[in-house]
């Protein structure tokens, strides 16, 4: 099984990235800062994540689902996972680690999911 690669959106609480990496350091979870996502619109963020084969992880439940739906009409996406702001970081980290361990990138192609699972 191929390992999942995650990309944090600029609005994602960086504590979630750190929590995932603390629990499983080998997880490929790139921060928004490392990817240079600050100030980019949703379409640009989706393009960059897709170009790198990364599932986008975001708190943006308001606009990202609509932009994702538009995006996949013109290009394939590795997927999007929306994490509610109210979900505890520990719970979200455990869900992401379970997803990383139990699924394959092909399971997420052109799919959007909302935590908790």
pTM for this predicted structure: 0.97
- The rounded percent of the chain whose pLDDT value lies above 90 is 97
Mean pLDDT of 98-112: 97
pLDDT band at 58 (very low <50, low <70, confident <90, very high): very high
Decide if pLDDT at 1 tops 70: no
The pLDDT mean for the chain works out to 97
pLDDT band at 2 (very low <50, low <70, confident <90, very high): confident
Q: Where are the beta strands (DSSP E) in 45-111?
A: 55-58, 80-82
Q: Which of 69, 30, 66 is nearest to 51 (CA)?
A: 30
pLDDT given for residue 76 in this prediction: 98
Alpha-carbon distance 108 to 78, whole Å? 6
**Domain chopping of the chain, boundaries:** 28-114
- What residues contact residue 7 under an 8 Å CB cut-off, 6+ apart? 29, 30, 32, 35, 37, 48, 49, 52, 54, 55, 56, 57
């Amino acid at each position: 099984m191929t390992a999942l690669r995650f990309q944090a959106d600029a609005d994602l609480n960086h504590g979630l990235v750190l929590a995932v990496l603390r629990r499983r350091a080998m997880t490929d979870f790139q921060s928004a800062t490392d990817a240079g996502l600050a100030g980019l619109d949703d379409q640009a963020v989706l393009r960059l994540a897709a170009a790198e084969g990364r599932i986008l992880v975001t708190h943006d439940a308001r606009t990202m689902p609509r932009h994702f739906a538009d995006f996949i009409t013109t290009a394939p996406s590795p997927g999007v996972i929306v994490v509610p702001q109210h979900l505890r970081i520990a719970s979200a980290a455990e869900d992401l680690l379970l997803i990383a361990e139990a699924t394959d990138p092909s399971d997420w192609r052109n799919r959007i999911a909302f935590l908790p699972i």
